[in-house]
Copies of this chain bind each other. A is one copy, B any other.
Amino acid sequence: MNHRDAILAAAAGVFAKHGFRGSTTRRIADAAGVNEITLFRQFGSKQALIHEAMRHLTQSAVFALLPDTPVNPERELTDWSESFIQHLRLQSSIIRKTMGEIEERPDMCEFATDVPRRASNDLCHYLTALKRQGMATEEFEPKTAAAMLMGSIFADAMGRDMMPDVFPQPETKAAHKYTQLLLQALGVENGSGKATSKQTKRSKQFSA
């Protein structure tokens, strides 16, 4: 691996563990297996290095796309939700650090908001299309519905390790459950069959 890339990866890792203040140049250099001075020669300053590491990280973030026109809402939305929650869980440390430090370092804001912004945009478009195509029998605001699904997923990804008893079990089904409950609110029929099939209004996926 390139020295430069090793340093960037190390910086991201150390930042995820210790935040900005805790990311000493010594720690980053040790993690990268590189002399501390190399950091300064390559990036100029600690701030520039971490800035660069964050940009590098957010640029490489990808997750599932939603189709332009809904076909099987339950499956499409569940796939998306699971991909989204997985991304948030993998990055949970770094997200928590960034959120905690955003008031002191507003320059980080663009990196922190990039992913959720794109996600919200995609989801809103999808929900609007759902509505326009008459696949939802209930009235709803796409933005509110999108904020609810994303918020549930976000809170789960951030909070479950701290208080597992507050979130639905098992962890692996949580995104699916949030998605189903949201579709229930929108009055979207249970999509286990073909999309154009039945007209029933209730979905009882939670019978226990």
- Name A's B-contacting residues (CB within 8 A): 17-19, 21-22, 93, 96-104, 109, 112-113, 116-117, 120, 137-141, 143-148, 150-156, 158-159, 162-163, 165-169, 174, 177-178, 181-182, 184-185, 187, 195-198, 202-208
Inter-chain pairs besides A19-B19, A99-B99, A147-B168, 17 sampled, C-beta below 8 Å? A19-B100, A21-B21, A21-B22, A96-B102, A97-B100, A113-B162, A139-B195, A139-B205, A139-B206, A140-B184, A147-B156, A148-B151, A150-B155, A151-B153, A154-B155, A155-B155, A181-B185
Q: Secondary structure of the A side of the interface?
A: helix
Asked whether A162 lies within 8 Å of B102 as measured between CB atoms, the reply is yes
Q: Looking at the assembled complex, report how far the CB atom of A54 sits from the nearest CB atom of chain B, in whole angstroms.
A: 15
Please pick, from B112, B156, B169, the residue contacting A151 in the complex, using a CB distance under 8 A: B156
- Across the A-B interface, the 4 shortest Cβ-Cβ residue pairs: A100-B100, A151-B155, A185-B185, A151-B152
